[in-house]
């Protein structure tokens, strides 16, 4: 999940859950932007997959079932499959109540994602239900899909409007190499969970097909993955690669032209979500170092990402980012010709 990080702009569907939602404009008018001082909400992040996404972080940095070589958050600190209340559900609900009560921004999705794997949080179902009661903004869950074989996880996800699991392997060997999973997880269990979930879930699955140069970007890999995709039958396949600075420098991105070639081997509604930058017009809202530090801690961003996501002027974003680097709260990384700012754990 980056990756839970493309070439056509990805817009939220107007029809979800079989019912027509408010128009995009209506939905945006009804949403919010978290101010500084929230511990579990961040952004909105300019998401290549979800438009403007209000992030809701359910686990401490970085708690995950996997330790993917392409992860933009760095190495996994706590690798586990244990579901529990990693952060108090009450705190998350309180922050959501405050944030959703004072609308002054524009958000396309409330997205459960952030510092690790959100399905590890045992309050997941309650949190999704709470958001659904409070707002008409669609709820999305970015997940690596590793716990979908667990019936309780599938039940918790049932009320989300869209679930975005990841498929990045075509064999047990590649699964171990790319995801470096908790030892109790296997590729067979991963697939079983994905297929089982796809049969039970009544809303939209947008499957992230994540490819890496030299590992899974060959026809034979993609053909094998396509057999899996045919069983899952997702509403969309979002083809992605390691565009942002990865955990390991041997996780190479697949060039766009190659992604385009490989996309032709995939059945269904395929969109390339790599290398697509959403355009948001800065609204001139004041930025704070803390908000920006919280954002880049969860996702490496360019100056433009920060400016667009937080609706601040690029010059102001640039100045604050330079200050964060100077104080050791951020570091600079180059990737695919772009400059990214990545939060340090000191932020």
Nearer to ligand SF4, 210 or 280 (CB): 210
Q: Which two tokens stand for residue 118?
A: 């959100």
User: What's CA 172's distance to the chain center, in Å?
Assistant: 24
Mutual orientation of helices 172-179 and 187-200 as an angle, nearest 10°? 90
Nearer to ligand SF4, 46 or 246 (CB): 246
Nearest to 331 by CA among 341, 323, 322, 321: 341
H-run or E-run covering 272? strand 270-272
In the complex, the smallest distance separating the C-beta of residue 190 from ligand SF4, rounded to whole angstroms, is: 11
124 Rama sector, left if φ>0, alpha if ψ -120 to 50, beta otherwise: alpha
Considering the complex, what minimum distance in angstroms separates the CB of residue 304 from ligand SF4?
23
Residue 317 CB, shortest distance to ligand SF4, in Å, is 25
Please say whether the beta carbons of 56 and 93 come within 8 A.
no
CB closer to ligand SF4 out of 10 and 71: 71
Strand partners, 55: 42, 111
Element housing 239 (H / E) = strand 236-240
**Region for residue 51 given its phi and psi (left: phi exceeds 0; alpha: psi -120 to 50; beta: otherwise):** left
Q: Which residues here bind ligand SF4, judged by CB under 6 A? A: 1-4, 64, 66-68, 71, 73, 76, 116-117, 144
Residue 46 pairs with which residues in a beta bridge? 52
Closer residue to ligand SF4, CB minimum distance, 76 or 238: 76
Instruction: Tell me how far, at minimum, the Cβ of 312 lies from ligand SF4, in Å.
Output: 26
Nearer to ligand SF4, 133 or 249 (CB): 249
| Closest CB 76 distance from ligand SF4, rounded Å | 5
Peptide bond into 13 cis (omega under 30): no
Q: Smaller CB distance to ligand SF4: residue 223 or 250?
A: 250
Nearest distance from C-beta of residue 210 to ligand SF4, angstroms? 8
């Amino acid at each position: 999940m980056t990756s839970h990080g493309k070439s056509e702009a990805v817009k939220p569907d107007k029809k979800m859950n079989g019912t027509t939602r408010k128009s995009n404009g209506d939905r945006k008018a009804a949403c919010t932007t978290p101010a500084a001082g929230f511990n579990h909400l961040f952004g909105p992040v300019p998401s290549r997959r979800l438009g403007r996404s209000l992030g809701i972080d359910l686990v401490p940095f970085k708690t995950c079932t996997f330790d993917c070589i392409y992860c933009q958050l760095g190495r996994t600190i706590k690798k586990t499959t244990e579901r529990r209340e990693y952060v108090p559900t009450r705190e998350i609900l309180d922050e959501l109540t405050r944030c959703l009560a004072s609308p002054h921004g524009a958000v396309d999705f409330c997205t459960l994602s952030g510092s690790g794997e959100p399905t590890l949080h045992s309050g997941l179902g309650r949190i999704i239900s709470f958001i659904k009661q409070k707002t008409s903004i669609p709820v999305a869950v970015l997940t690596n899909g590793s716990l979908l074989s667990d019936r309780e996880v599938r039940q918790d996800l049932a009320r989300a409007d869209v679930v975005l699991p990841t498929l990045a392997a075509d064999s047990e060997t590649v699964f171990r190499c790319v995801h470096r999973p908790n030892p109790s997880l296997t590729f067979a269990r991963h697939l079983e969970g994905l297929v089982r979930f796809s049969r039970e879930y009544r809303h939209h699955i947008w499957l992230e097909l994540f490819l890496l140069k030299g590992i899974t970007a060959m026809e034979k890999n993609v053909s094998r993955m396509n057999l899996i995709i045919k069983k899952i039958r997702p509403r969309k396949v979002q083809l992605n690669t390691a565009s942002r600075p990865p955990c390991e420098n041997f996780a190479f991105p697949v060039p766009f032209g190659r992604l385009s070639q490989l996309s032709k081997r995939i059945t269904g509604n395929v969109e390339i979500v790599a290398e697509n930058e959403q355009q948001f017009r800065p609204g001139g809202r004041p930025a704070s170092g803390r908000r920006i530090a919280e954002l880049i801690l969860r996702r490496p961003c360019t100056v433009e990402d920060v400016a667009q996501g937080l609706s601040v002027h690029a010059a102001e974003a640039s100045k604050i980012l330079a200050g964060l680097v100077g104080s050791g709260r951020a570091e600079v990384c180059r990737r695919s010709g772009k400059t990214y700012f990545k939060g340090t754990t000191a932020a």
